[in-house]
Amino acid sequence: MSKLTVFIHAYGRPGILEAELSEAATMGELLAMLTALGVAIDAETFIFIDEDEQHRHHEHHHPVGGLKHGSRIHVCRCKRIKTSVHFLDKTETREFAPGARVKGVKEWAVLTFKLNPKDAAEHVLQICGSPVRPSTDTRLNELVKPHECALCFDLVPEKRVEG
């Protein structure tokens, strides 16, 4: 059976862990691998594969399914991340899976605030109260603070240099 390289994003741990799993790995094998890497798993821990909307249950005999070479495994304390976006005088909120990317939040915000394509292309998401503008492929799980399941963004114009 072939092995797949997977990348683990675990709450409370900086950086990304790399590991190998078989294509037909069970949840028991995944949990054992995570434990061997020092990732704590308990009843309040949720595991998501890539951008899945639903977390994986901890039943040991079930196959993990959906794994491919380069899959991202998110181990976190949040089933969903409550995400607010401010634009002008409006605020909208929606819950996203921890593996969702910033670009998905921006796409949702553009539709929600009914921006035309030209305006949308000139705006970026910035973390509220900071100058941080995460790249569009950043996963939400990487941005939340430990033991928090919420994020706040401002949809702001990207600075342009004209001249």
- Pair 8, 39: CB distance under 8 Å: yes
Task: Render pLDDT for 44-69 as a digit per residue (tens, 0 to 9).
Answer: 888 888 888 888 876 778 888 888 89
- Pair 79, 144: CB distance under 8 Å: no
- Between the CA of residue 82 and those of 27, 99, 140, what are the distances in Å? 27, 13, 10
d(CA 20, CA 42): 22
Buried b (16+ CB within 10 A) or exposed e, 20-29: ebeeebbbee
pLDDT score recorded for residue 136: 94
* Residue ranges for the chain with pLDDT beneath 50: none
pTM above 0.95?
no
pLDDT score recorded for residue 2: 81
pLDDT score recorded for residue 59: 78
DSSP letter, residue 87: E
- Pair 158, 123: CB distance under 8 Å: yes
pLDDT score recorded for residue 101: 92
pLDDT score recorded for residue 120: 92
